A and B are shown apart, each in its own frame.
Chain A
């Protein structure tokens, strides 16, 4: 099936009748007071036809959200529309005055903001939110307003009782549904969704996207979906615009993007997209272990961090050479105290339970982790997979001694971790280390890379003076940040996300730990940077013989770097086994749902 048009979309190319939205040579500039202006959107032109579902995809800093705010006339200082025209129907929205703009929001264009805590006013009930909109536009007769509000929340699969609730009483997914219902109440011709599911859990994300697609099909409004996730966009949109550094680099029907990507950047984005259920899974620079036997590592691939996003500020040199390259000539591997693979300690988690004191009103305590047992062999790699609230991070805290289990024991070799305190807990940091989720917050913004690594070495090893500095540089080399002297002097804001995460990994390696716990180490990174960090982690494990506990909600990355997997759901292990086998032949219903929630454009556009 090559290039067949989608069956659901009315049409993919704007021709014939006049487009609903027409953007011509649009430029948006950011002018923060006291800083150099940056152009976020550069000479962008495109059309959107009536009833079309358009996707707008790009990595962080690509300007996609700025564009979304501009076309809905919501750009506010320091953002300023510098040039170009936005025609809605046949009206230039720049020509509308404040009041015209306001009144046309009903029956015109609506915007659904990124899912977060704050899109709804915390001190107003959902009913009041609807009431404000109805009062603002008077398009629903007062007597019918209550019924209309109930009808709208029903359209997004919520019961009428949510109308009495305050936003803080709703879950993230429910709040996002309410937001959609509110936008829908405007009966808009065009709806712009800005990352509508980003902050939500996979299953909720999936359900909300289903709702959006169903609504679009029923109501026939024109939709623009802005997202960093190519998978989500391809699955929903008829046509996709790929944005990079403020420009549209490709504009084509979804099927064409999927099967015949023209631009090199689109191809790169696609190459970082794979189905973890497949028999053979690989991303640039990293290949999942084969289901049967662990083959040797994949061939030398081009630098995975190479096509770094526009958030890479440092202009000096490429982001990082491939981890593989660094590995080849890493003398660090023979440093003092190096273990041979397999000679380390075993991590045993037995019957661990953690309950927290009840939050406010509810009488019962919260059981975050419920009777979990597993063993992480020396040199092994286990994935801990689950949604937020599944207890995976609590488990990590207990293994690192930050939290104490309510019941059960955790042993590293013969040491029981639970009772460790003070000095003994600091000793544990030599053997168990952590890679944090958000590289943007895991490094002190005011400390140089050298300082960060030096402190860890001084605290956790006996190295001092020149030997310590040598080791510090070795660490940078190990994680592929060369030239090392240059990187040592840098501050976090001079590094890209991928480079920061490498520094975080280097710090974790300082004391030659036996176990590394990586808590969602790539979830905050742009897709194109993920593979490089994953490859580095796997490579380090294979070279140093440390074991890896990989915590994630992302099944693809788990497939790439782990041998075993535990699926956690509401604190309990629901499925456990070799990673490839669990992904290919899941048995538990929850695992199956997780796997099915992964966006699958092939399903829509034919493989």
Chain B
């Protein structure tokens, strides 16, 4: 049941699809909340030097202070302002989330689409590799690799997360590619003399934008959580200011015993909020890829 098109002159299809997609996400209440929260974090990260009251590494304050007018959330055991660290920490999480999420999405798109398109032995080989990556527990693998590369800094963390995190997305994209491949328009493109790469990336790929976007937000969520976990174990660069390292130092300085609950509570809450905002956005995107998830109440 296709609705009549009212616009007199259609936009280029890709743009029209993007606009329609954004509108659908925005009309979804949960997704709208997610977009707003994400937007706030992005503003916080971009404007951190101007918003934060102090330099996050300035340790000239009293140690382990409780919250006060000068230091809303108190200070760390090293004498740094907690609130300033919190605001600057958004930068790292967003960087890792979008960086590692983006890289692993690119890997999963390339592998997933080729996997879904090819038949026979190459497909079986990819199938095996992807399934291997799927079952091997990600965090232990990351821990092992990060331990060997112990002095690599944030770019190593991003690389490790991206390399271990693409398999799930590839699997989802693969099954959609395989189903689109059976559609006549793909066979027709072949009859129009198109070659495989163009069929995969020009004919098939644009039909999966919502799945890819969903995969991206999912991968970004996982990356943010993984980064925090690695930093917390002390496997990242513990001199940078991130939410994970804040918790690492809090744990190491026995914040549990000194009762500095804000130092424990705030960074974790920020991680959870940021990850939740991405998950909420994905609710909206799910509704685009799977219309059945959109139709609301069943009246039971």
Contact = CB atoms under 8 A, between A and B. Distances in A.
Contact between chain A and chain B defined by CB under 8 Å: yes
Interface of A: 30, 32-36, 38, 40, 61, 76-78, 311, 313-315, 400, 402, 426, 429, 433-434, 436-438, 441-448, 452, 455-456, 459-460, 489-491, 493-494, 504, 507-508, 510
Residue of A61, A433, A441, A444 with most chain B CB atoms under a 10 A cut-off:
A444
B191 A444 contact: no
A493 B299 CA distance: 31
Given A34-B27, A61-B1, A460-B193, A507 B10 contact: no
A446 B17 contact: yes
B294 A33 contact: yes
Nearest to A40: B1
B39 to A, nearest CB: 22
A21 to B, nearest CB: 23
Contacts of A438: 184
Contacts, number: 97
Contact of A442 (B14, B17, B184, B296): B184
A34 B294 CA distance: 9
B137 interface: no
Contacts of A446: 13-14, 17, 206-207
Which 6 pairs show the lowest CB-CB distances between chains A and B? A459-B193, A456-B192, A442-B184, A436-B184, A446-B13, A441-B183
Contacts of B191: 400, 429, 433-434, 508
Interface in B96-125: none
A447 B13 contact: yes
Contacts of A434: 187-188, 191
Interface in B155-193: 183-185, 187-189, 191-193
A33 B192 contact: no
A78 to B, nearest CB: 6
Nearest to A492: B185
Nearest to B7: A494
A413 B188 CA distance: 24
A444 B185 contact: yes
A489 to B, nearest CB: 7
Interface string B1-25: 1111100011001100100000010
A475 to B, nearest CB: 12
B194 interface: yes
B192 A507 contact: yes
B286 interface: no
A429 B14 CA distance: 28
Contacts of B14: 446
Residue of B5, B27, B291, B297 with most chain A CB atoms under a 10 A cut-off:
B5
B187 A459 contact: no
Contacts of B297: 77
Interface in B265-294: 287, 291, 294
B258 interface: no
A41 B256 CA distance: 66
A313 B2 contact: yes
Contacts of A433: 191
A77 B3 contact: no
